[in-house]
């Protein structure tokens, strides 16, 4: 359309130029010939020359006019092409942005939605363009009228919102809204960033910092308590030496020594959680360790629990402390048995990656409530009765995994979901970084 109007303008200019030059030429040339030349033959010759001269002058003027107009049209066309390319690049950039981008009018109706908004919200673009922003919000934001008031005052507003997809899934987001005015109308451009992963990472960092603080406290308590136990154990042994086998106080001294042994075991578990004991690294097959530990675990967890092994066929050689990992496997198996009330299926699986071994232990128990999952690795936290647990089983597991520079996570579906139970997944480096095994255990070249 623009080029068509441009061509019409050129034609109009050429026509006007031709008409003006022709009129002026014929009028003034005829007047001059009549005034100065009276011979008819000379007038005829001059008229012929005048005609050729007119043709040359008009042709030159028309050529210059057309060349100037065409050059101007080329410049305009190139500018239009450049603007169109910029618009396409801008549209491509916005459409492929990982942030959700929505254009809104003053009634909060969606005028434009990029591809990320379509994918994350789950609505087709045609359906989104019939909705308002409140249709995809989770209903926890402030009044949109207040947002528009702030937009008109500041030009830009930062918001925290929760959005809901078509499937009902919600996600937190940070929203930057900018005011755009065009042809007397106000519009808002909302850039919506999904911060679910960042919030999850922040929570993991807070949890790691809390566990580190608890571990430091537990290590200090364990060392101080160990010094006290050393005195109690020494005194009880001296008392035992001074008592005969038939002394009525022998039973009391034996009970003191047994209590000291139990307290010492608790201290060792606390030190394992707080990294107070260095692992004794050896090179071994992780699958072989699981099978070996499973032989006596069957007796510990009882006949009501069936153990299923899904071990990978690839090599699972690692450099780690086998004694500590036997404890990890045992603690998780006992914890699963208690969750299943002594009856169910315990599935143990491994997966080999280039730098890691993945261990997953899944049970069919009652699961772990979502609200207590962030606390299950804390020392002395337990949902069992006092006589049934100390609250150090999972904290010891966490400490051993962390000491080997591994990671552990738990997944448990909500109540009523199928399948039930909980699954602990451990990611163990094949070689613990920062810890070098002794030369006697280092594999031969």
pLDDT the model gives residue 151: 85
pLDDT-derived band at 196, boundaries 50, 70, 90 = confident
User: What is the average pLDDT score of the chain?
Assistant: 78
**124 and 12, same structural domain?**
no
pLDDT digits (tens, 9 = 90+) for 213-246: 766 777 777 778 888 888 888 888 888 887 777 7
pLDDT the model gives residue 317: 92
HEC profile for 252-297?
HHHHHHHHHHHHHHHHHHHHHHCCCCCCCCEEEEHHHHHHHHHHHH
**332 and 388, same structural domain?**
yes
Cβ contact 297:307 at 8 Å: yes
User: Quick one: what percent of the chain has pLDDT higher than 90?
Assistant: 10
pLDDT digits (tens, 9 = 90+) for 370-388: 888 888 887 777 776 655 5
Asked if residue 444 is part of any domain, the answer here is: no
Task: Look at strands 356-362 and 407-411 and give their pairing.
Answer: unpaired
Among the listed ranges 60-69, 108-117, 345-354, 381-390, which one has the minimum average pLDDT value?
A: 381-390
Helix (H) or strand (E) holding 26: helix 2-36
Find the distance separating the first CA and the last CA of the chain, reported in whole Å: 78
**340 and 265, same structural domain?**
no
Among the listed ranges 105-119, 189-203, 238-252, 299-313, which one has the minimum average pLDDT value?
A: 238-252
Query: Which residues does 81 contact at the CB level (< 8 Å), separation at least 6?
Result: none
**108 and 53, same structural domain?**
no
**410 and 302, same structural domain?**
yes
Q: Which residue has the tokens 């071990």?
A: 311
pLDDT-derived band at 445, boundaries 50, 70, 90 = very low
Partnered with residue 171 across adjacent β-strands are 163
pLDDT digits (tens, 9 = 90+) for 138-175: 865 456 788 888 888 888 888 888 888 888 888 888 88
Asked if residue 440 is part of any domain, the answer here is: no
pLDDT the model gives residue 358: 94
Q: Give the CATH number, domain containing residue 125.
A: 3.30.450.20
Cβ contact 305:335 at 8 Å: no
Total domains, the chain: 4
Crossing angle between the packed helical segments 393-403 and 250-273, to the nearest 10 degrees? 40
Q: Which range is most confident: 12-26, 372-386, 414-428?
A: 414-428
Q: Given a cut of 50, is residue 335 above it in pLDDT? A: yes
pLDDT the model gives residue 360: 94
**343 and 220, same structural domain?**
no
Q: Which range is most confident: 44-58, 118-132, 239-253?
A: 118-132
Name the token pair of 237: 């042994």
Asked if residue 239 is part of any domain, the answer here is: yes
Asked if residue 63 is part of any domain, the answer here is: yes
Domain extent, residue 161, equals 100-194
Q: Given a cut of 50, is residue 420 above it in pLDDT? A: yes
Which of 233, 253, 273 terminates a domain? The answer is 273
Measure CA 140 to chain center. Answer: 23
Cβ contact 182:106 at 8 Å: no
By the 10 Å C-beta count (0-12 exposed, 13-18 middle, 19+ buried), 193 is classed as middle
245-279 burial code (b ≥16 CB/10 A, e <16):
eeeeeeeebeebeeebeebeebbbbbbbbbbbeeb
DSSP letter assigned to residue 405: T
Q: Given a cut of 80, is residue 326 above it in pLDDT? A: yes
Could you tell me which residue, 416 or 333, shows the higher pLDDT?
333
Asked if residue 438 is part of any domain, the answer here is: no
**214 and 147, same structural domain?**
no
CA distance 247 to 285: 52
Asked if residue 293 is part of any domain, the answer here is: yes
Cβ contact 121:166 at 8 Å: yes
pLDDT the model gives residue 271: 66
**105 and 89, same structural domain?**
no
**420 and 294, same structural domain?**
yes
**108 and 91, same structural domain?**
no
Mean pLDDT in residue range 32-50: 65
Could you tell me which residue, 278 or 311, shows the higher pLDDT?
311
pLDDT digits (tens, 9 = 90+) for 345-373: 999 999 998 899 999 999 988 888 888 88
Task: Look at strands 407-411 and 344-352 and give their pairing.
Answer: unpaired
User: Quick one: what percent of the chain has pLDDT higher than 70?
Assistant: 74
pLDDT the model gives residue 443: 32
Q: Give the CATH number, domain containing residue 361.
A: 3.30.565.10
Cβ contact 10:69 at 8 Å: yes
pLDDT the model gives residue 427: 94
What is the gyration radius of the CA atoms in the chain, in angstroms? Answer: 43
Q: Give the CATH number, domain containing residue 205.
A: 1.10.287.130
Asked if residue 442 is part of any domain, the answer here is: no
Asked if residue 443 is part of any domain, the answer here is: no
pLDDT the model gives residue 444: 31
**166 and 89, same structural domain?**
no
Helix (H) or strand (E) holding 187: strand 185-194
pLDDT the model gives residue 351: 93
Q: Which residue has the tokens 């049209």?
A: 73
pLDDT-derived band at 436, boundaries 50, 70, 90 = very low
Prediction pTM value? 0.48
By the 10 Å C-beta count (0-12 exposed, 13-18 middle, 19+ buried), 340 is classed as buried
Measure CA 107 to chain center. Answer: 32
User: H-type helices in 175-249, by residue range?
Assistant: 196-241
pLDDT the model gives residue 359: 94
Name the token pair of 9: 């303008």
CA distance 218 to 73: 81
**418 and 323, same structural domain?**
yes
pLDDT-derived band at 5, boundaries 50, 70, 90 = low
CA distance 18 to 40: 29
């Amino acid at each position: 359309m623009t080029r068509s109007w441009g061509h019409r303008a050129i034609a109009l200019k050429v026509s006007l130029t031709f008409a003006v030059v022709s009129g002026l030429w014929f009028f003034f040339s005829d007047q001059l010939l009549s005034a100065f030349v009276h011979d008819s033959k000379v007038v005829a010759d001059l008229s012929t020359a005048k005609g050729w001269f007119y043709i040359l002058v008009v042709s030159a003027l028309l050529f210059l006019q057309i060349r100037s107009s065409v050059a101007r049209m080329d410049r305009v066309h190139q500018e239009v092409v450049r603007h169109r390319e910029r618009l396409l690049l801008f549209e491509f950039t916005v459409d492929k942005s990982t942030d959700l981008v929505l254009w809104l009018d003053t009634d909060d109706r969606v005028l434009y939605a990029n591809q990320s908004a379509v994918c994350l919200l789950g609505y087709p673009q045609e359906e989104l363009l019939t909705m308002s922003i409140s249709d995809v919000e989770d209903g926890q934001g402030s009044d949109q009228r207040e947002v528009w008031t702030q937009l008109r005052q500041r030009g830009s507003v930062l918001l925290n919102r929760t959005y809901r997809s078509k499937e009902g899934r919600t996600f937190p987001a940070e929203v930057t809204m900018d005011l755009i005015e065009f042809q007397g109308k106000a519009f808002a451009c909302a850039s919506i960033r999904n911060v679910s992963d960042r919030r999850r990472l922040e929570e993991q960092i807070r949890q790691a910092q809390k566990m580190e603080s608890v571990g430091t406290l537990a290590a200090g308590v364990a060392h101080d308590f160990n010094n006290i136990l050393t005195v109690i154990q020494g005194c009880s042994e001296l008392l035992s030496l001074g008592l005969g086998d038939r002394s009525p106080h022998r039973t009391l001294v034996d009970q003191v020594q047994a209590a000291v042994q139990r307290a010492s075991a608790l201290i060792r578990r606390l030190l394992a959680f707080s990294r107070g004991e260095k692992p004794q690294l050896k090179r071994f097959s992780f699958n072989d360790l699981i099978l070996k530990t499973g032989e006596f675990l069957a007796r510990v967890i009882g006949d009501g629990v069936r153990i299923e092994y899904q071990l990978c066929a690839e090599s699972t050689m690692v450099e780690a402390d086998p004694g500590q990992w036997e404890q990890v496997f045992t603690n998780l198996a006992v914890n699963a048995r208690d969750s299943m009330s002594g009856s169910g299926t315990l599935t143990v699986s491994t997966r080999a990656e280039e730098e890691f071994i993945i261990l997953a232990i899944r049970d069919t128990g009652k699961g772990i409530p979502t609200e207590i999952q962030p606390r299950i690795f804390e020392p002395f936290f337990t949902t069992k009765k006092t006589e049934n647990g100390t609250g150090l089983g999972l904290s010891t597991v966490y400490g051993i995994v962390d000491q080997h520079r591994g990671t552990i996570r738990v997944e448990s579906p909500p109540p009523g979901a199928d399948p039930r139970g909980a699954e602990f997944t451990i990611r163990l480096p094949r070689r613990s970084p920062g810890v070098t095994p002794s030369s006697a255990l280092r594999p031969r070249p």
